[in-house]
Amino acid sequence: MADVDAVVIGAGNAGLTAAASLQRAGVRTLLVERHNVPGGCATSFRRGRFEFEVALHQLSGIGREGEEAPLRGLLDGLGVAERLEFVEEHDLYRAVVPGEYDVTVPAGWEAAVDALEAAFPGNRDRLTRFFDLVRNVTFWQIAARRRMPAEELDPVLFRQGLRPVRDVLDEHFEDAGLKSVLATYWSYLGQPPSRLAFQDLALTLYAYLEFKPWHIRGGSQAMSGALLDVFLEAGGEIRFNTAVTGILSEGGRVKGVRLDDGEEITAQDVVSNASLPLTYAMLGEAAVPTAVRDDLASRRIGVSGFVLHMGLDATPAELGFTTSTSFVNTGLDHEATYAATRTLDAPRGICVSSYDVAPIGFAPAGATHVSLMTLQYGDVWERIPAAEYARAKFRYAEKLLDRVEVIAPGIRDAIEEVDVATPLTMARYLGHPGGAFYGYDQDRTEGWLYRNDERESHVRGLHLAGSWAAMGGFQPTLEAGVRVARRLIRGKAA
Ligand SMILES: Cc1cc2nc3c(=O)[nH]c(=O)nc-3n(C[C@H](O)[C@H](O)[C@H](O)COP(=O)(O)OP(=O)(O)OC[C@H]3O[C@@H](n4cnc5c(N)ncnc54)[C@H](O)[C@@H]3O)c2cc1C
């Protein structure tokens, strides 16, 4: 008999929800995590009297209590929602381009139209048509992903879903400022409007406008901890500070894993939350079909980020923060902002999270925790000589501070604690190439209509779950783990 029924490699969002779902369904599961805490990206750490949130800016899919909302439903089903206190944010974001606009978009369909009409008068009808399209494309996208037969799907999905965001916006609006505000969430997906599929931006807008943006008291680490608890309470076992170094297979079928101390664990099924390049490398060349290797080589490692975490000795109001999330850009052209992610030039856009406008409990009274983030590709940082690295990251951090001063003048004077994370930091903690936290570049060729790594691992008993096998981000990866576990369980029953 195998040591366990299933091994899950990695305790990121998808690894945790997969492990919890499997163990609760009676599948004896071992979860192996190379770090010493659960969560992957979904973690936090302490500096002085502050706790710093690593990754979560806005949680989607939670909705208000009593409302049917996808992520709340999923966490409810796992017995986790009741252990968490969700913190609602009332705005999608404040978007600022000095000299062009400073607009706050509320989290609600009609309120968003009103606010955008006030900032860009004469666009109400266009906005209404645009948001109708957002809702329609999302509705049919979800139906398609739930396997509704193609002939029953509304053609709007195929006509509009894969078009670049830029084209759809150009068709609806003339005002460059309004188009820029509406495209702001592109950075949550890592691809600029010319390369991002409209269905992905639509899904993101829908998720926040319909179900509101949320955070969690205790940060994303509280959710990771609660997911681990339900897994352990169901009888699961976790090994921290342990990496899987090999996936054992025989005759095209998985038979277990090898750990970094050489121990081998036998299991019929292995779920990998690690990156695809690492997962297939762990299988060994002989076990991976040439076509899969060629395909992997053709894909682009996705974007990572540079984050400046700050503990500030002032309240959000004293500093000038009015929303939990703000985006400050230097110009209207998101393509130029994206191009800067491949250089160490001053970032053209930053996302500012002020975690005490709707407090998540990470800063003492009278103080606040703020993070500034900009997207960056890992290779830019990999090219910096080791002796230069520390200076480079603090130089770059100063450039983010220059940007945020537009909305929080004098913020530098309130700094009490700082910590900086570069793509190399993400790579070290996650084990992902380039520190990529959404997996591969999420452009139009990576969409679910073209690819489904989650369904096709090419090796029986190997299951892929997380940002490298489907969409990245919190809600998508939490959902992926449950989906993969269900498929695995169905396969066992068949
Ligand atoms: C700074 C930052 C900001 C972000 N902002 C947002 C946001 O606002 N909204 C949003 O939706 N998303 C955001 N994301 C992205 C989101 O956090 C990720 O896409 C998501 O959490 C990835 O989950 P995952 O399941 O793919 O696992 P990951 O979080 O990638 O975790 C993988 C886990 O596998 C472990 N592992 C890897 N290899 C091995 C091995 N060989 N053996 C054992 N363990 C292994 C790693 O240690 C890690 O714990 C952000 C991410 C970061 C880093």
Is 99 a domain residue?
no
Mean pLDDT across the stretch 109-136? 98
Of the residues 437, 452, 479, which one is the last residue of a structural domain? 437
Mean pLDDT of 52-65: 96
347 with 424, same domain? yes
Q: Are 113 and 101 in contact (CB under 8 A)?
A: no
Report if residue 96 sits inside a domain. Answer: no
Give nearest CA residue, ligand 1 atom 34: 10
Chain CA centroid to CA 275, Å: 14
Report pLDDT digits (tens) over 356-397.
999 999 999 999 999 999 999 999 999 999 999 999 999 999
What mean pLDDT, rounded, does the chain reach?
A: 96
Domain end: 208, 232, 251, which one? Answer: 208
Measured in Å, residue 6 CA sits from the centre of ligand 1 at 21
**Which of the four pLDDT bands, split at 50, 70 and 90, describes residue 323?**
very high
Q: Degrees (nearest 5) of the Cα angle 75, 216, 472?
A: 65
In sequence order, which residues have a C-beta less than 8 Å from that of residue 379 and are 6 or more positions away?
342, 434
* Max CA distance (Å), the chain: 70
- Alpha-carbon distance values, 108 to 17, 105, 116, 197 (Å): 29, 9, 12, 23
Do β-strands 264-266 and 253-259 pair in parallel, antiparallel, or remain unpaired?
A: antiparallel
Predicted confidence band of residue 447 (pLDDT cuts 50, 70, 90): confident
Is residue 369 included in any domain, yes or no? yes
Quick one: 80 and 228 in the same domain? yes
Which pLDDT score, from 0 to 100, does residue 450 have?
76
DSSP string across 271-287: EE-S-HHHHHHHH-GGG
pLDDT for residue 165 = 98
Instruction: Assess whether 195 and 223 both reside in one domain.
Output: no
CATH number at residue 382: 3.90.660
Stretch 341-364: mean pLDDT, rounded? 96
92 falls within a domain: no
Task: CATH number of the domain at 233, please.
Answer: 3.50.50.60
Which of 34, 37, 41 should be mutated for ligand 1, with most atoms under 8 A from CB? 41
pLDDT of residue 468: 96
Q: Which residue, of 157, 177, 208, is where some domain finishes?
A: 208
Per-residue pLDDT of 198-211, as tens digits, reads 999 999 999 999 99
Same domain, 160 and 121: yes
**DSSP collapsed to 3 states, 289-308:** CHHHHHHHHHCCECCEEEEE
Burial (CB count <10 Å: 0-12, 13-18, 19+), residue 420: middle
Indicate if 184 and 333 belong to the same structural domain: no
Are 142 and 41 in the same domain? no
User: What's the pLDDT score for residue 145?
Assistant: 86
**Torsion, CA 116, CA 118, CA 124, CA 126, rounded to 10:** -40
Is the domain of 255 the same as that of 187? Answer: no
Alpha carbon dihedral 21, 24, 29, 34, in 10-degree steps, equals 50
Cα 319 to ligand 1 centre (Å): 30
In a domain, 224, yes or no: yes
Atom of ligand 1 nearest to the CA of 32: 43
On the question of pLDDT at 329 being above 90, the answer is yes
Q: What is the pLDDT of residue 493?
A: 79
Q: Are residues 432 and 309 in the same domain?
A: yes
What is the pLDDT averaged over residues 423-436? 98
Examine the domain organization and report whether 81 and 221 are in the same domain. yes
How many domains does the structure of the chain reveal? Answer: 3
Kindly state whether residues 339 and 225 are assigned to the same domain: no
Mean pLDDT of 96-104: 98
Find the 353 Cα to ligand 1 centroid distance in Å: 18
**CA 14 – CA 464 distance, rounded (Å):** 9
pLDDT at 117 over 80: yes
Percentage with pLDDT > 90 across the chain: 89
pLDDT of residue 292: 85
Q: Could you tell me the two tokens for 117?
A: 């009409």
Round to whole Å and give the CA distance between 104 and 119. Answer: 9
- The residue whose C-alpha atom lies closest to atom 5 belonging to ligand 1 is 55
Comparing 389 with 151, which gets the higher pLDDT? Answer: 389
Please list every protein residue whose CB sits less than 6 Å from any atom of ligand 1: 9-15, 32-35, 40-42, 54-58, 188, 243-244, 273-274, 278, 305, 307, 373, 426, 430-431, 437-438, 466-467, 472-474, 477
Q: Looking at ligand 1, which residue's alpha carbon is closest to its atom 10? A: 473
Q: How far is the CA of 42 from the centre of ligand 1 (A)?
A: 6
CB contact at 8 A, 355 and 55: no
Looking at residue 291, its pLDDT comes to 85
- In contact, 372 and 339? CB cutoff 8 Å: no
**pLDDT tens per residue, range 266-319:** 999 999 999 999 999 999 988 888 888 888 888 999 999 999 999 999 999 999
Q: Report DSSP state, residue 433.
A: G
Neighbour tally for 224: CB within 10 Å: 25
Task: Mark out the alpha helices in 52-164 (DSSP H runs).
Answer: 70-77, 109-119, 124-145, 156-160
Centroid of ligand 1 to alpha carbon of 132 (angstroms): 32
Decide: 14 and 276 in contact? Cβ < 8 Å. Answer: no
Query: Is residue 1 one of the residues assigned to a domain?
Result: no
Instruction: Give the mutation target among 223, 258, 273, 369 for probing the ligand 1 site: most ligand atoms within 8 A of CB.
Output: 273
CA torsion, ordered 172, 178, 179, 185, to nearest 10 deg: -120
Indicate if the pLDDT at residue 458 is higher than 90: no
Together in a domain, 307 and 361: yes
C-alpha span between 53 and 361 (Å, rounded): 11
CA dist list (Å): 477 to 332, 357, 450, 488: 31, 26, 19, 16
Q: What's the gap in Å between 57 CA and the centre of ligand 1?
A: 13
* pLDDT grade for 444, boundaries at 50, 70 and 90: confident
Is residue 488 one of the residues assigned to a domain? yes
Q: What is the 474 CA–ligand 1 centroid distance (Å)? A: 8
Do residue 318 and residue 464 come from a single domain?
no
Residue 452 has pLDDT above 80, yes or no: no
What pLDDT score does 73 carry? 97
User: Which has the higher per-residue pLDDT, 448 or 364?
Assistant: 364
- Domain range for 336: 303-437
Per the domain annotation, does 382 fall within a domain?
yes
